[in-house]
Structure 1
């Protein structure tokens, strides 16, 4: 490698991208970071100096907050130009947003994975890794925080969502990708606003949070039960922040005891503030002490809430952080 080669660290957490089919049936994580990088056609031609790190070999569904906070601390110690994290797609959106919140600096951090494991026809892992490495090595991606690269599209961590269970184009975002990779070039179309920053070394307290998705006919009984077992709650409400009238008393009680974030289950768009005024409307719930999740989807709102609780933030501090979201 030339002395001025761009340096990228590839950190493997496991997941489908690292899985192969087993004779006993089913795919499990077996490939190392070296294996993943070795399977990428054309990587040597990029001139990028790739360093590999085996961090975990877990399905995405089994990653934990301690795993990801340790990952963030590891990333901060690396002397490279960019970082690629490979993992299971089940929780890519959570990992990406957490890293966006707890890492600082301009170095690109890119999360990617695969929808088809290495034993399947049309495995998408090598192409995704190559595009992710190109993005992590590019000067164009500096200062954008953490992004997800999938199918040669670049998505901001705050907006990206897994919206299909099996499709190779499972990852989308609203209002859309912020860039893409084409003809070996990283092209950035828009830059996301700066996310709040939470010091990972301060996230040491234990916390238990949950997302409660409101459905038609809810009467508040399950909210009362859940409230006895969590330190904070995200309510995935109808539309722009609405719940059944029968849930209002339960949410009022919970908001007196803990931070309760009001988010929309729709997947895009904001929680309103003063458009509707009926019991269970967004203005009614906010007046009762719930905290607006703004445009954060429920999954991302839980990540932010959980990290804040891990830093022992009180309700007023949590309100202040959420109020900065656009």
Structure 2
């Protein structure tokens, strides 16, 4: 086999036209946010999920964007580190009732109230990722009673034998909780009172946890919505991070500007800043001059007419 065959096989495929179009939408997302609810109507569910993932990476994901994009066919939702609040989460939960994996980590605007409403709508929720910052950790601690399903009267000997109908309320199907910074008291509380919920699973065998395969959504080192943007050019969201040039700290090798150059740059900056004001003043001066000229012309005409009338009257009297 020729040596160049190995290089040819490593060449990446060109991105599809659909992915290029999604990337274009993502790069200009802030320009269409106000009309996103109308635009999203014609988008397929998987594209709306990709746009939501791009919006999250671009720090544009909030209640309005999430509600505009939410689709009933979604089975994962990642709003981590976004501005989504209880209102947006609940509205999305009312639409996305078949969500199996949800990431709300580092969402400082989501409280126990929002999570309580969430579990009422999403009865298929199996994996929940939470915590990640002090406020989100506090919210997760307050949700322990919500995570633990409350049972009707049953006679089974273990959680594994329970039927869904016997779970009266709470997170009915929650099985995996990803909470990296969980405190010992919360961990012990869940382990004793609700052993069916596995916290931060670490599968040590191909059979997973107690014979149940751990879904990839429950692994701590994954980003939940990475799969939906794997074919999108990363520049779609990273280009906005480098658009603004960072202010570099002065180094010893940098050339110090002379005092004269500093004064020249300061004068140019001031001159450019005042240029619009000077132009405005010039326009006002021109308007005043034209008005004064018009008034003067009217007065001159009036004076000539008055003089003519006076001469006419004087000649008649004679």
Is TM more than 0.5 here? no
- Relative to total residues, which structure has the larger strand share, 1 or 2? 1
**TM-score normalised by L of structure 1:** 0.26
- Relative to total residues, which structure has the larger helix share, 1 or 2? 2
**TM-score normalised by L of structure 2:** 0.26
Bigger Rg over Cα: 2
